[in-house]
């Protein structure tokens, strides 16, 4: 609710020109129990920051974070550690997120150790089960991360996130670093684990086609702001935010006979340092009007469940 997170940049001899990155600016977002909320936007739009705020891994400058009705903003470290069992993250890069000096067995038993759960033998059994849950063989746990392929390493990252049977999983670009041929397998795994364990996902991606399959609802983010929230079903049909439209146009189509229409985006993503006035998208929007650079459009419900921040639909 009302989340704001700004970062100071500029150090050393640049310190005199300290600048502020508006990573997340006045964001409201609710993820319902049992759903997959897709969060899309170009890189640098604040998606990962928002995901980390949601898990209490970052503290917001302003606003509140609630988990199952309970405010977690400002909880003590100890209380946060207990809650962490229920909220986990899967990172984008399975190579850097797994300690290369630890066997997969120790990586996966770490969460149990931290929380003081089970005897050594019980932990080993749990690790074996986790390996199988994510489609790996239990005896492979004796190996080190580098002895696995990228897709297998991401399976290990997912197993680690699921070790403590969380309720909410923030998946931050979980397939972006993988070969396209492997992406679908990992997506299918995430979908089946969700069903099996009754998980809730906040699923972050820059690639709309990835998010669309799995999500129940989709939130679109641009330069620190949510500009559209809609159900995944009717996504892209009917009234649509110009930025969302641009993302759809830019999504690659897997058919060599279809000519890609040129993306209707003008120019580069504006900087999150001193973001544009009014609607932050106005510097690139093909539909921009006079009012767009002057007034910021609020996120309003245009039809049931469909929220949009755009003067076109005022
Ligand atoms: Fe484009 Fe204006 Fe809508 Fe922003 S408010 S998306 S600039 S039409
Ligand atoms: Mg990111």
Q: How far is the CA of 91 from the centre of ligand 2 (A)?
A: 9
Instruction: Identify the residue whose C-alpha is closest to ligand 1 atom 3.
Output: 310
Report which ligand 1 atom has the smallest distance to the Cα of 279: 4
- CB 189, CB 94: distance < 8 Å: no
**DSSP per residue over 46-107, as a string?**
SHHHHHHHHTTSS--SB---EETTEE-TT--HHHHHHHHTTEEEE-S-TTTSS-TTS-HHHH
- Which residues are found with C-beta within 5 Å of the ion, ligand 2? 48
Q: How far is the CA of 227 from the centre of ligand 1 (A)?
A: 10
Complete domains list, the chain, with CATH:
3-86+164-223 (3.40.50.300)
State how far the Cα of 306 lies from the Cα of 304, in Å rounded to an integer: 6
Say which ligand is closest to the CA of 283.
Answer: 1
Q: What is the pLDDT of residues 176-207, one digit of tens each?
A: 989 988 999 999 999 999 999 999 999 999 98
pLDDT confidence of residue 268: 72
pLDDT confidence of residue 269: 74
Q: How far is the CA of 24 from the centre of ligand 2 (A)?
A: 12
- CB 310, CB 226: distance < 8 Å: no
Residues with CB under 6 A from ligand 1: 242-243, 279, 281-282, 285, 287-289, 292, 297, 310-312
pLDDT confidence of residue 244: 94
pLDDT confidence of residue 261: 55
pLDDT confidence of residue 14: 57
ipTM > 0.90, yes or no: yes
Cα 277 vs. chain centroid, distance in angstroms? 26
Q: What is the pLDDT of residues 5-40, one digit of tens each?
A: 999 887 666 566 778 899 999 999 999 999 999 999
Residue 61 corresponds to which tokens in the numbers above?
A: 């400058």
CB-based contacts of 44, cutoff 8 Å, min separation 6? 269, 272
Report which ligand 1 atom has the smallest distance to the Cα of 242: 6
State how far the Cα of 194 lies from the Cα of 168, in Å rounded to an integer: 10
Report which ligand 1 atom has the smallest distance to the Cα of 243: 6
The structure tokens 């199988």 sit at 132
What Cα–Cα distance (Å) separates residue 146 from each residue in 103, 109, 151, 176? 10, 18, 12, 19
pLDDT (tens place) for every residue of the chain, 314 residues total: 999 999 988 766 656 677 889 999 999 999 999 999 999 998 889 999 999 999 999 999 999 999 999 999 989 888 988 898 999 999 988 788 899 999 999 999 999 999 999 999 999 999 999 999 999 999 999 999 999 999 999 999 999 999 999 999 999 999 998 998 899 999 999 999 999 999 999 999 998 888 988 999 999 999 999 999 999 988 888 899 999 999 988 766 655 665 555 455 767 778 888 899 999 999 999 999 999 999 999 999 999 999 999 999 97
Residue 27 β-bridge partners: 3
Which of 246, 285, 296 to probe ligand 1 with, by most ligand atoms within 8 A of CB?
285
């Amino acid at each position: 609710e009302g989340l704001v997170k700004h970062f100071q940049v500029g150090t050393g001899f640049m310190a005199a020109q300290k600048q502020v990155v508006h990573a997340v600016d006045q964001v409201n977002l609710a993820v319902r129990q049992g759903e997959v909320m897709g969060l899309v936007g170009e890189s640098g739009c604040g998606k990962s920051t928002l995901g980390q705020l949601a898990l209490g891994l970052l503290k917001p400058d302003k606003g509140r974070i609630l988990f199952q009705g309970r405010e977690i903003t400002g909880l003590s470290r100890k209380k946060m550690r207990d809650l962490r069992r229920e909220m986990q993250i899967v990172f984008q890069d399975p190579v850097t997120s797994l300690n290369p000096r630890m066997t997969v067995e120790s990586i996966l038993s770490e969460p149990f150790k931290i929380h003081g759960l089970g005897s050594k033998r019980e932990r080993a059994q749990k690790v074996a089960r986790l390996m199988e849950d994510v489609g790996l063989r239990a005896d492979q746990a004796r190996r080190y991360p580098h002895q696995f392929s990228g897709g297998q390493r991401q399976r290990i990252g997912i197993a680690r996130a699921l070790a403590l049977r969380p309720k909410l999983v923030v998946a931050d670009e979980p397939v972006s670093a993988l070969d396209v041929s492997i992406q679908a397998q990992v997506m299918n795994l995430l979908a089946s684990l969700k069903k099996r364990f009754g998980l809730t996902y906040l699923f972050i991606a820059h690639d709309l086609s990835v998010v669309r399959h799995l999500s129940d609802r989709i939130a679109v983010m641009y330069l620190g702001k949510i500009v559209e929230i809609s159900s995944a079903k009717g996504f892209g049909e009917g009234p649509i935010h110009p930025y969302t439209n641009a993302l759809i146009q830019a999504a690659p189509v897997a058919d060599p006979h279809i000519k890609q229409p040129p993306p209707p985006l003008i120019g580069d993503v504006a900087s999150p340092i001193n973001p544009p006035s009014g609607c932050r998208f106005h510097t690139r929007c093909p539909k921009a009007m006079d009012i767009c650079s002057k007034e910021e459009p609020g996120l309003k419900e245009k039809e049931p469940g469909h929220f949009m921040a755009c003067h076109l639909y005022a």
